[in-house]
Copies of this chain bind each other. A is one copy, B any other.
Amino acid sequence: MNKSISYDSETVKFIDGGVCAAEGFTASGINAHIKANSQKNDMAIVYCDKPCSAAALYTQNKVKGAPITVTKKHLTNGKAQAVIVNSGNANTCNANGIEIAEGACELTAKALGINVDDVIVASTGVIGQRMSLEPFEKNISILAEKLSRDGYNDACDAIMTTDTRKKQFAVEFMLDDKVCHLGGMSKGSGMINPNMATMLAFITTDANISSEMLHKALSEVNAVTYSMVSVDGDTSTNDTLAAMASGYAGNREITSEGADYDIFVSALYSVMVMFAKETARDGEGASKLIECTVMNAHNKETAKTAALSVINSPLLKAAMSAADANWGRVMCALGYSEADFDVSKVSVDFASSVGRIRVCENGVGFDFSEDDAFKILSEDEVKIIIDLNEGNEHAVAWGCDLTYDYVKINAEYRS
């Protein structure tokens, strides 16, 4: 990816509506009791009243959830019309996983009167836990009946696991003088590591775009958003980022790169970068969002590698939870990354809404006020700015601090 992707507030405007903001889409959510004693929604449908251009990206983990196998097969024709998704059980490492994923698609297709291969299926939750088709049999027809333009909140609830906040955003933008909408919902707070940081995200748009260009846009934006988020270095077995485009906006179909494609990418980025940041901020047990920028690297890859190594360091993350300006751990994490740089040129700043402070210059300590640093790092959104002083490429990565609560949340997740 050569060009720089950014959010342009003049052309892209945030609106409400989440995964139902775009024309043609409805959603619903329900508590299907997939996990015993759960009090929350755990099953959802997102539906479009016509077949859409569709594309998806998946986890790079070699151990893949059965739903991924089925969704991949269904998306080979670049078309989809509905999503059936559950939390509470990842349907991964189960002997009958494919059977269940296919069964869920069949039930959904039947309830909605659509083709089975136009159904996207996804699951999130515990791995290797037996699962049955029963919750789908009992609830899919109810979900189909409940579908509505206002169902986005119920659906968003249903995909949350250890998430503490809903992650849904939508934007409005113009393409070819037509008003377009793009929105979505996302979940993920642990097991968040590059190569798709979130476990699940569903994007809908009424823009008219081919499935090939939709896939290209997803890939490009994913590289600078979800792929730059790290909560704990674990990469999930079930990560799925799927998008459907209804075309109801009536713009000329985007079938190649150009000005229209760039506007679409900018709109997609504006939603996905919010997902990325909210996912990092909502990292399991996190008390703050950490944004690490690496500037002036020889090349993009160096900048990315360095930023992710810093964001990933458990020692730095633990220091950040105590607002401790332990910049030596920044240097240490840079040093053990595969990034290529000259230690003696590196400067490090800490910043937040209350100020910015230099702590390291030319690779060695720079006098600073510990009090000021503590104040800066005590904010709930802090920045680490690393200048390699060598080239002119940069990268941004997002993560969070490591707190007691991360351990607590993950110690007995299955119970």
The answer to whether the Cβ of A252 comes within 8 Å of any Cβ in the partner chain is no
User: Is A63 a contact partner of B335 (Cβ separation < 8 A)?
Assistant: yes
10 A-B pairs with C-beta separation under 8 A: A61-B332, A61-B336, A62-B341, A64-B335, A128-B331, A234-B333, A237-B328, A237-B332, A318-B413, A319-B412
A114 adjacent to chain B (CB < 8 Å): no
Which of the segments A89-97, A115-123, A165-173 contacts the partner chain? A89-97
Q: Which residues of B contact A335 (CB under 8 A)?
A: 61-64, 235, 237
Stretch at the interface among A201-209, A257-265, A307-315: A307-315
In the assembled complex, the CB of A284 is this many whole angstroms from the nearest CB of chain B, namely 9
- A334 CB-CB contact with B under 8 Å: yes
Interface string of A341-374 (1 = CB under 8 A from B): 1010000000000000000100111000000000
Of the listed stretches A32-40, A146-154, A403-411, name the one at the interface; the rest are far from the partner chain: A403-411
Tell me the residues in window 377-415 of chain A with beta carbons closer than 8 Å to chain B beta carbons.
402-404, 406-415
Q: Which of B61, B90, B191, B319 contacts A411 (CB 8 A)?
A: B319
A318 to B326, CA, bound (A): 25
Q: Are A327 and B128 in contact (CB under 8 A)?
A: yes
A321 touches B411 (CB 8 A): yes
Indicate if the CB atoms of A407 and B193 lie closer than 8 Å. no
Whether A232 and B93, one on each chain, are in contact in the complex, defined by CB atoms closer than 8 angstroms, is: no
Task: With A63-B331, A233-B233, A314-B232 as known contacts, state yes or no: A324 contacts B191, CB within 8 Å.
Answer: no
Tell me which residues across on chain B come within 8 A of A326, comparing CB atoms: 126-127, 413-414
* Residues of the B chain whose Cβ atoms lie less than 8 Å from the Cβ of A364: 93-95, 128
Report the minimum CB–CB distance from A139 to chain B (whole Å).
24
| Inter-chain contacts of A403 with B (CB < 8 A) | 407
| Residue contact A322 to B62, C-beta cutoff 8 Å | no
Contact digits for A231-252, partner B, Cβ 8 Å, 1 yes 0 no: 0111111000000000000000
Distance in Å from the Cβ of A386 to the closest Cβ of chain B? 12
**A216 at interface, CB cutoff 8 A:** no
Contacts of A236 in B (CB 8 A): 332
A256 within 8 A of partner (CB): no
Evaluate whether A365 and B95 lie within 8 angstroms (CB atoms) in the complex, with A233-B233, A402-B407, A404-B408 already known: yes
* Closest 6 pairs (CB-CB, A-B): A127-B328, A63-B335, A318-B410, A322-B411, A235-B336, A128-B328
Indicate which residue in B94, B232, B319, B333 contacts A365 across the interface (CB closer than 8 Å): B94
Check A110 for interface membership: any CB of B closer than 8 A. no
Say whether B331 contacts A407, CB under 8 Å.
Answer: no
Decide if A411 touches B318 in the complex (CB within 8 Å).
Answer: yes
Which B residues touch A64, using CB under 8 A? Answer: 335
Q: Would A407 and B407 count as touching, CB distance under 8 A?
A: yes
**Given A332-B234, A413-B324 in contact, is the A365-B315 Cβ separation under 8 Å?**
no
A130 at interface (Cβ–Cβ under 8 A)? Answer: yes
In the assembly, what is the distance between CA of A407 and CA of B315, in Å? 8
Among A127, A237, A334, find the residue whose CB has the most chain B CB atoms closer than 10 A.
A127
- In the bound complex, CA of A313 to CA of B410 (Å): 11
B233 touches A312 (CB 8 A): yes
Residue of B nearest to A126 (CB): B328
Instruction: Check if A24 is an interface residue, CB within 8 A of chain B.
Output: no
Cross-chain contact A313 with B363 (CB below 8 angstroms): no
Indicate if A129 sits at the interface (CB-CB under 8 A): yes
> Which residues of B lie under 8 Å from residue A130 when comparing CB positions?
365
Q: In whole angstroms, how far apart are the Cα atoms of A407 and B414 in the complex?
A: 22
A336 near B413 with CB under 8 A, answer no
- Contact at A363–B414, with CB atoms within 8 Å? no
**A126 to B325 alpha-carbon distance, docked (Å):** 12
